Chains A and B, each alone.
Chain A
Amino acid sequence: ELKVEQNPLFLSMQEGKNYTIYCNYSTTSDRLYWYRQDPGKSLESLFVLLSNGAVKQEGRLMASLDTKARLSTLHITAAVHDLSATYFCAVVPNDMRFGAGTRLTVKP
């Protein structure tokens, strides 16, 4: 059975701190997505990682992919309140399969 495991599931951070969210998956996938969901809102695509070693950055978020380890990370640098949201990773063996999400809260 395909597993997409994110950890932590809940993360409370102080503004200005750094942290990493991890996404492990159990099957081959030629790409990996990260989505953001604000409370009560829809999901929006943040990154798509297409190959082993791929790294993408936007603002305070940086995502990377290690296809050999079946691991992706989403690193948060100097967190700000606006980053508070739930972050999902998703892999695509045949169709898109999502992790359970990491609910991030950034406190002043």
Chain B
Amino acid sequence: NAGVTQTPKFRILKIGQSMTLQCTQDMNHNYMYWYRQDPGMGLKLIYYSVGAGITDKGEVPNGYNVSRSTTEDFPLRLELAAPSQTSVYFCASNLQGPTGELFFGEGSRLTVL
């Protein structure tokens, strides 16, 4: 049982480049989330999805886009990468929604130079 799988685990981008962080889950969870974790800070919610075709902004959505074409997949796209987007990104999922226990992937460390 893989749970929540993120790729890539590490990536270095140049300023202005674009990339997509992939997230897939095999637990048939309706809800999926993207968080970023900065040093000494808690996780902040970027975007979330309540099901295929439905997404909504979280606390820090600027500079990111998401899509949810299937229950399993929830990719996060960075357009025009900036140094402020250097962070560790976590994908999570659950059944109960935004107030329920979250199941996290192992994270993707992104550096923008």
Contacts and interface: CB of A to CB of B under 8 A. Distances in A.
Nearest to A31: B99
Contacts of B45: 95-96
Contacts, number: 50
Contacts of B53: none
Question: A interface, by DSSP: helix, strand, loop or mixed?
Answer: loop
Contact of B102 (A9, A30, A31, A45): A45
A23 B45 CA distance: 19
**Size category of the binding interface on chain A:** 20 to 34
Contacts of B59: 97
A90 B90 CA distance: 15
Contacts of B74: none
B42 A42 contact: no
Interface of B: 4, 40-45, 48, 58-59, 90, 98-99, 101-107
Interface of A: 4, 9, 30-31, 33, 40-45, 48, 88, 90, 92, 94-101
Those 9 A-B pairs whose CB atoms lie nearest each other, nearest first: A98-B42, A95-B98, A92-B99, A42-B104, A98-B43, A42-B106, A43-B104, A45-B101, A100-B42
